[in-house]
Every structure is written in C-alpha cells, then in structure tokens.
Structure 1
Amino acid sequence: MTQFEKNYILSCLNSLDEILNDANQLDTAITNFSGHNNTDLRYCSNLTITDAPLWSDQEKKAFSAAFFEATARANYTFLTTPELAQTVSQAQSIWWTHYKPLLSANTDTENRIQSVIANIKQIKSDLINEIPSDAPPDVTMKNKYPFFTALAAVGVAALIGTVVAMKP
C-alpha cells in the first residue's frame, strides 16, 4: 500500500466513523444513497458485507450508505486533478475490496453499528502503524549489522593507506 492509498483509506475510515456516530449524518447518507425507497433491497450490499444474511435490511442499508458516503467524501478530497483519477481509483478499489469486508466482520448481532465503529478504531490503529510501500528506506533501521559495515569501512581505509604509503 502506498502513502497515497494509506491516506485515502484513513480519510475514508475517519468519515465513516463520523457518519456512523452522528444519527443526522447517517440519516442523510441513507436518504442520499437510497432516496426515500425503504423497501428496495438493491441498496443492501449483500455481496460485500461479511455474514450479510445475518444482518437486517436496515443494518445493511445503513452500513452501505455510510460506506458510500465516506467513499464519496474521500473522492471529493483526493480527486483534485484528472491525473489523480487512476491513483484514486486504485485506492478506492483497495477500500472496497479489502476494508469493507473487514469493517463488517465479527459484528455483534445486537448492535452492528457499534461493532463496525469498534472495527474502524482497530483498523485505523493497524493502518497508522503500517509502513507504506513507497516510504523511503531507513538504512539505519534495516541494517542489522552496523558494526560490520563500520569494520569494512575501516579495513578499506587501512588498505588505501597502506597502498599510498608503499607507493614509490
């Protein structure tokens, strides 16, 4: 995961957390997502929600609407130039395929939304600690044998000194 993808997903997680913790924002997201159609099951993401058959239609719709709104907010924030379209699309793909099932996994049947909020906090914590694939390498942290590097440098310096001293 690149730094851009990490920032995009963290933005999505923050927005999702904000939406799920605010009943007004959640109601607005549901209305924007499904209109006033409360009976159409196409607004329930059965394929991407973990254990979807165990969720009520209202829980699925609330989660799907909040997830969609969080994605829209991140797209609005990150899609600032046409050149970023592919990068945003890749980040969005990771968000939808990897994180949506994680967010909906292991939820309490009594309170799904609170379980999703707990999952958000755990995923954010893990993601913050993840080092992006495009992060600059930190040589001092990855070199397990700094003593031998210094020893080799001293050896090369001694060899050069000996060659210079023995030169006629």
Structure 2
Amino acid sequence: MSETIFANLPSFDGLADGQTPGRLKSRKAQEAERAEQEVEAKDASFKRQMTAVEATLNSLADKITAVEAEARQQTNETIVAIAGRLFPELSKRFLADEIALHLQALVPASAVEVEIRAEPDLLDRLKPVVERSNRLADVCKLTPEDAPEGERVEVSWKTGGISFDFDGLLEACLKHIDTTHSAIGAQS
C-alpha cells in the first residue's frame, strides 16, 4: 500500500551513483525504459536476421537459376549426342524402306526400265523391298556400285532420274538439330 503512494516519488537509491534527486526517474519509468530498450534490441536483432535471410534467399535464387541453365544446356547436348548416334543407325536400318516408299511415287508409270545403283550392302537391303512391290519388281534393275560418297542411291530411267543422298541429308539433319537445340538453350 505504501508502495503505491510513493511510486511517483523520486527514488534516492541512485544517489550513491552521483545523481541528484531531481534527475532520478521513478521505478515505473525505469521499467518502461528497460522494456523499450529490450523491444528495440529485439527489433534490431530481428531486422539483422531478416536481412541475413533475404541475402540467403537471393543467393539461392541465383544458384537455382545457374543450375537450371546448366541442366538445360546438358540436356540439349545430350539430345544432340543421342541424335548423332541414333540417326545414322536408323537411317541404315530403314533406308531401303524409305527409298521404296518414295520410289513408287517418283518413278513415272510409263517407265519401262529403272536402274538403281548403290553400294552392295544397301542394295542387299533394298532388294527385298523392291521385290515386294509388284510394279517395281518388274521394271527395276539393281546395280552394285562402290561409291566412296557413302549412303547414296542413284535411280534412273530413260526420261529422268533421282538421287538419294542420305549421308548429306543426315548431315544436314544433325546440323539442324544441333543449331535448333543450341538456340533453344540460349533462349531459355
């Protein structure tokens, strides 16, 4: 009870520190000041922690962007490498079928004699495909030719002809894939 009456009166406890009675603060004022200082200290600590968290998040965002770009580049390089290995094998496997598919449409119906010149290995793969076609089997003559140019087929009839340069086509396709995937990786 006496404490509430005297709560607003100055305390003389601090006089030993060299303070004068007029400058002494009440106990409530001192507690309020201490509480305010604690709040300010906590706020400052929180701001420092938040600044550190923001810096960490920014650093992580930059690293994630770099990892994504590297992953995209590696994926593009892998796709081009796979295509570079896969396309030549597929072209060798299906080259005869592809030629036969287009040959029927390209050779005029009026052609009586058609000569097909290609490497012996390619002719061996092409022969069964030509023999399956009623129209081509009757008019086609297969002539082996050692061609240093690679996978190339020459088809001729008296009024015209056509060349299938699959090595050149394959090279152009691989170059196109390489430039397309490089451009895709650069755009992203």
Question: Shorter-chain TM-score category?
Answer: under 0.3
RCO higher in structure (CA 8 A, sep ≥6): 1
Q: TM-score, normalised by structure 2?
A: 0.24
Q: TM-score, normalised by structure 1?
A: 0.26
Relative to its length, the structure with more strand (as a share) is 2
Query: Which structure would you say has the larger Rg?
Result: 2
